[in-house]
A and B are shown apart, each in its own frame.
Chain A
Amino acid sequence: MAHARISMYLPPDINPTQAAIAYGCRALPKLNTELQSEDLLTRQKALMALCDLMHDPEHVYVAIDIGCLESLKALLKDANNMVRIKATEVLYIMATHNVGREGFLKHDIIVALSFLLNDPQIACRENVHLAFKHLAQLPSGAQGIVISGLIPLLVWKLQKEEEKIQELLLDTLAACLVEDATEALNSRVVPFLKEKLLSDNDNIRSKAAYTLMAVSIPLEGKKQVRKFDVIPILVHLLKDPVEEVQANAAGALMYATVTTAGKYAALDAEAIHPLLNMLKSTLRKARLNAIKALTMLAEAPEGRKILQIYVPRFRDLEVDTSEAEQRAAQIAVKTIEWKP
């Protein structure tokens, strides 16, 4: 049997970079006061501890309740790099929880974060973009970003930043564009996205195609897509080796071909055959988008003429797939066989 030898020494400090966390409900208030202290080291240690604590949603709620966000906002303007990086990391972790997002919107964190978009430290910027990305998943969060006028700045950043951050930016923009696309369209987002479609990075291509899909939902977006001749590039992407890129490109085409001008542009760019190939794809999203895009093209007389030969393929799809695909395939068949 072991004898409990009680040592006189304190247990060694496992992580000297972290502040000591108080027990129970005293943890967060103590950390809050430490955040506001004058000493740099205290602040840094408190931030590190806070990072770890914020994974728990209950702690997030308590933290926001006691006003940690105000202290964090003050810390965002701190001169020390480490402080800023850690503060943005805390905010990003908070943004992954819904409580955190709502707190962001209430305490106006977006504006404070936007000042850091030009920060020299890349880690800091990455965290800021991560925070924005998670915030944009919430519809009211996306609206908050749009209202604070950040969209033109983000679009402009798309040109300047590195690839990692570009991916995050594209995700954020895609979510925001679904909310309100007018500002983005005014700030020339379509030409930028057109360039990104041709980049080498697979992720960037697929995300750019996805963002284009979000852009071409409103009518103004469709017109701009047509104007900037993006449709031939999208058709080219339909033959891309990466399935995700194909699926997103088909989605973008699906929305862009709703207008008559878009339809004829796509027909001119020979979009039908790649789309037909995609019907056999493994990704469900790719199949669905391809069916829809073909339905759009079948409304034009030329499209209908070509597609009438391929009606049996749609009938196959009708039979052995999920409900959404069955419905989509039925609609496609109906459109192809319509007589004026």
Chain B
Amino acid sequence: VASMFTNHASRPAGTYTYTSRPRPLPCQRRRYRDSLTQPAEEPMQYGNIMYDRRVIRGNTYALQTAPLLFDFDLEVRPMLEVLVGKTIEQSLLEVMEEEELANLRISQFVYEELYNIELAEIQRLEEQERRHREEKERRKQQQWDTVHKHSETSQKIAARAFAQWYLADLLPSVFGSLRDGGYFFDPIERDIEIGFLPWLMNEVDKTMEYTMVGRTVLDMLIREVIERRLTMYEHNEKRQPPKPESGLGGPGAMRDPLVGYEFPEQNASQSQRSLPDRDPLQRTLYDESYIEKMSPQERMLMEEEDEEIEMKKFSGREELSQ
């Protein structure tokens, strides 16, 4: 409504156009000396036209006595038309504007509804899609888990069977190898093996050695005796040169074996073998005669002396032989 009043303020003073508001004319002093009206009139010039006699309006029932200024009804028509027309036009414009706004708003709401519906539908479909996909994922995962478990179980069974078979064979072989390794032993047997037998062997060895030593000593003894006998015999021969040659021959023959007897004695290690070979020969020849002559005590004493001497000689011979 304000737009109606836009242009009314700054006009040059005093103009009165159709957009001006109706206002009562102020009673003014006379501007003109002569008024255009008849002098004999009531002093009501430029007063309210509503009460002016000279104006004929629709409700004046008075006769047209005075000269008419103007016919109110006629004159007012165009003015009224303009006024009312403008007002109505303006108000129509405003109403139409509001209607347009209302229509816009309605279409906006309709669009909004459709938009909301579509959006809800989109979200629902998205949600559905997501659910389906998750379901599929879960099922796939489940299947994979089952297959995995199956394979694991079968592997476990196979492994178990194999282990059992392997272990079944293992036990006897283990025991066998242990037994072979000598880890199972009878303690008494072992004790005998470890303790008794070595000692026994030791003792046997010693006894054998004693025997050997004894024999060696005896051999030396015999030898000493024989040598002494020989020297004695040679003494006797010098004193009794005329003797039967058989007798000489015999000792001479015996001398050779004696001499021959000395040389092999260089090898002490073989001497013991040769000794037993010579022993029976010499014994049969000399033991009878010599042992008869000597008394057992002398024999024992001689044996002891000879043992010592022969031990030294024996060791000396050994050194020589070596």
Contacts and interface: CB of A to CB of B under 8 A. Distances in A.
A204 interface: no
Given A1-B70, A11-B21, A52-B2, A251 B121 contact: no
Contact of B124 (A14, A258, A289): A258
9 contacts: A6-B16, A7-B26, A8-B13, A9-B26, A254-B116, A259-B127, A260-B131, A284-B113, A299-B128
Interface string A1-24: 110111111111011000011110
B13 A296 contact: no
Contacts, number: 90
A95 interface: no
Contact of B7 (A5, A23, A258): A23
B5 interface: yes
B5 A10 contact: no
Interface string A223-265: 0000000000000000000000000000100110011100000
Contact of B70 (A2, A285, A288): A2
Size category of the binding interface on chain B? 35 or more
A57 to B, nearest CB: 11
Contacts of A8: 13-14
B113 A285 contact: yes
B117 interface: yes
B123 interface: yes
A6 B113 contact: no
B25 interface: yes
Interface of B: 2-3, 5-11, 13-16, 20-21, 23, 25-26, 46, 70, 75, 109-110, 113-114, 116-117, 119-121, 123-124, 127-128, 131
Interface string A35-79: 000000000000000001101100000000000000000000000
B117 A20 contact: no
Nearest to B17: A4
Given A2-B70, A11-B23, A258 B120 contact: yes
Contact of B21 (A10, A14, A52): A14
A15 B26 CA distance: 20
Interface of A: 1-2, 4-12, 14-15, 20-23, 27, 52-53, 55-56, 213, 217, 251, 254-255, 258-260, 284-285, 288-289, 292, 295-296, 299, 324, 328, 331
Given A8-B14, A53-B2, A254 B120 contact: yes
Nearest to A27: B6
Contacts of B11: 11
A34 to B, nearest CB: 14
Nearest to A214: B116
A251 B116 contact: yes
A143 B208 CA distance: 125
Given A284-B113, A289-B113, A328-B117, 11 more contacts: A2-B70, A6-B14, A7-B16, A7-B26, A14-B8, A22-B10, A27-B6, A258-B123, A258-B127, A299-B124, A324-B113
A296 B124 contact: yes
Contact of B10 (A20, A254, A259, A289): A20
A331 B122 CA distance: 12
